[in-house]
Amino acid sequence: MNSMNHPLLRLADSTSVLRPGKYTDHRTSAVLPQLRRIGLFRARRFGDLLCATPVLRALAAAWPKARITLVGLPEAEGLAQRLSSVDDFELFPGWPDLPGVPSAKADEYSFFQRRMRSRRFDLVVQLHDSGRNTNALVANFGARRNAGFADPDDWVPEADALRFVPWPGQGSEVLGLLALTDYMGLPRRGLKLDLPLNADDRARVRPLLPASRRYAIVHPGARLAVRRWSASGFAAVADRLAQAGLEVLLTGSEDERALVASVAAQMRHPALDLSGRTDIWMLGAALASASVAVCNNTTVSMMAAALGTRSVVASQAGEVDRGPPLDRQRHRVFIPGNDAHAAELLAQAALALADEELA
């Protein structure tokens, strides 16, 4: 169902907002005055949120007196509370047309919509996707102005059409998101991803970490199975790291215990299995002091980039330019096959990065 025609949108009188429009690119019309209340919509997973932190910094620097509200999924709340570029968080209850996002019940969405309208945003930024499934939803927040992404034939609010740019289908996610704030004339505030850790994160994970040895984190999981390299490949890399004298920590979520156990079972050397024993912040603290991380092109890759931890990333062919970290000196990206040669290449890269960490 097209999101413009979804019955949940009729819970509010929004006929004056939901008018057909079309993207055009007159840059000067995107310039905005001083704003007091800004909303940013991005209902994505943790790693995807990290990719949006340079945009949040640009918004916060451009309008230092504005209160910025992040609208997202439950896992975004903890990050929103820690980011200096975010003042408030609103929980997005779901929407039928968004992949990977639960559907909200009518009463849940009605309550959410009333909350959004009560905030009386001066600007809402749609940073979730191309806008085909979200521009009508976000326009229904009732903001005075909207900005975001839209492909040429997709719907945008007519009055705001000049503040929408085409969704970048290729290239770096970080740079693609910054295309919007660039177009709006907002100076960049760096490309670094923000992942603030605190003393409690480090204290909680410390008992799980090796006390006196350098260690590598090997994280074989990914939310989607198609984005995972083979367990045997990760096991071979982990063995080479252990053989070279690094303690190997196998990490994963509670749901990835079986996968991590499969990697451990295929290893010749012992490894410390931390699957299901850390939350996202403890994992971040463990990554922060690791010599190197080996992972798929997933959240852990983005976390390693944010924390400055060198990493080796096993990526799928279509994602090499989209997801992995921008710094390809500290983060080596491979499209590995499932053979011993591929595992050896990744292991050599990981060991070289671990040696750089000592230099």
* pLDDT tens digits, 144-155: 999 999 988 889
Q: What per-residue string of b and e applies to 37-68 under the rule 16 or more CB within 10 Å gives b?
A: bbbbbbbbbbbbbbbbbbbbbbbbebbeebbb
Beta strand pairing status for 123-126 and 146-149? parallel
Rounded to whole angstroms, the Cα distance separating 333 from 342 reads 12
Q: Is the dihedral of CA 69, 70, 72, 77 positive or negative?
A: negative
pLDDT for 310 equals 97
Most confident by average pLDDT, 20-29, 36-45, 317-326, 349-358: 36-45
pLDDT class for 169, splitting at 50, 70, 90? confident
pLDDT class for 317, splitting at 50, 70, 90? low
Quick one: average pLDDT of 24-38? 65
Quick one: average pLDDT of 319-328? 72
Two structure tokens written together for 115: 């909350």
Distance of CA 96 to the CA centre of its chain: 21
pLDDT class for 318, splitting at 50, 70, 90? low
Beta strand pairing status for 37-41 and 123-126? parallel
Quick one: average pLDDT of 50-68? 97
Q: With 50 as the cut, is the pLDDT of residue 314 above it?
A: yes
pLDDT class for 30, splitting at 50, 70, 90? low
311 vs 13, higher pLDDT:
311
Mean pLDDT of the chain: 88
Are the C-beta atoms of 291 and 215 separated by less than 8 Å?
yes
Rounded to whole angstroms, the Cα distance separating 329 from 353 reads 9
Quick one: average pLDDT of 128-143? 93
Phi-psi region of 250 (alpha: psi -120 to 50; beta: other; left: phi over 0): beta
CA angle 84, 85, 88 (to 5 degrees): 90
Q: Which helix (H) or strand (E) holds 313?
A: strand 311-314
Rounded to whole angstroms, the Cα distance separating 147 from 157 reads 9
pLDDT for 64 equals 95
In CATH, 200-358 is 3.30.497.10? no
From 3.40.50.2000, 3.30.450.40, 3.30.2350.10, 2.70.70.10, which CATH number describes the 3-183 domain?
3.40.50.2000
Tens digit of each residue's pLDDT (9 = 90 or more) over 183-228: 999 999 999 999 999 999 999 999 999 987 799 999 999 988 888 9
Provide the CB-side half-sphere exposure for 150 (13 A, CA).
28
Cβ contacts of 14 within 8 Å, gap of 6 or more: 139, 140, 142
Q: With 80 as the cut, is the pLDDT of residue 267 above it?
A: yes
Identical topology for domains 3-183 and 200-358: yes
Domain range list for the chain:
3-183, 200-358
| Range scoring the smallest mean pLDDT among 103-107, 144-148, 240-244, 306-310 | 103-107
pLDDT for 358 equals 75
pLDDT for 7 equals 36
Are the C-beta atoms of 126 and 147 separated by less than 8 Å?
yes
Provide the CB-side half-sphere exposure for 233 (13 A, CA).
24
